[in-house]
Amino acid sequence: MHLTDFYSNVSHGKFLDIGGTGSTASGMNQVQTKFKHFAGPLEYFLLDSDPAAKKLSNAIVCNIEDCPEALDCSYDVTFSHTVLEHALRPWLAFDTIARITKKGGLSLHLVPFSYQYHATPIDAFRFTTEALSTLLTDRGFSVLDVGYDICTKPSHMRTKIDEHFDTIWLTYIIAKKD
């Protein structure tokens, strides 16, 4: 809903998918367009710390905690999906997000709250709604929506015993840069 409203007022710009290529060093397959459909009319870019992303034409390779390669106020939308729990210093990641998001731009993030440990390459944090709200409001954003998404394993997977929880909670936030 918030992206649809935002896109009704813009015809061009840049969408940044933070951590969007996957960690090939951890054995994941590299992806290039997993969330491109979220970009709407905006040009789709990826930011990832995985050196393998250097071969992609639309990628910036850096650590989100310290990324001078990403220019100030250059993205209309900054987005991450289950990425920021891997930051050792998430407050620095949010400093970068605030620096690179344009005034009036949106920042959308989904992170684990109740989720199994997954070191790809590390697993460092879990976030509450209050934590995400504070990390963004302290950096000049207004929260538009924040909450939890509760997901359950499909019934055909519930008999399999593995490291995945039967029910997981994901924390999400959508904020606008003031």
- CATH code for position 134: 3.40.50.150
The pLDDT, as a whole number, for residue 152 is 86
Residue 159 pLDDT > 80, yes or no?
Answer: no
Q: Are 145 and 92 in contact (CB under 8 A)?
A: no
Which tops the pLDDT comparison, 12 or 159? 12
**pTM over the 0.85 mark:** yes
More confident residue, 82 or 159: 82
- In terms of Cα–Cα distance, which of 61, 49, 15, 57 is closest to 35? 15
Percent of residues, the chain, with pLDDT higher than 90 = 68
pLDDT of residue 24: 59
> Range of 17's domain?
2-177
In the chain, the number of structural domains is 1
Angle 90-100/129-137 helices, nearest 10 degrees? 50
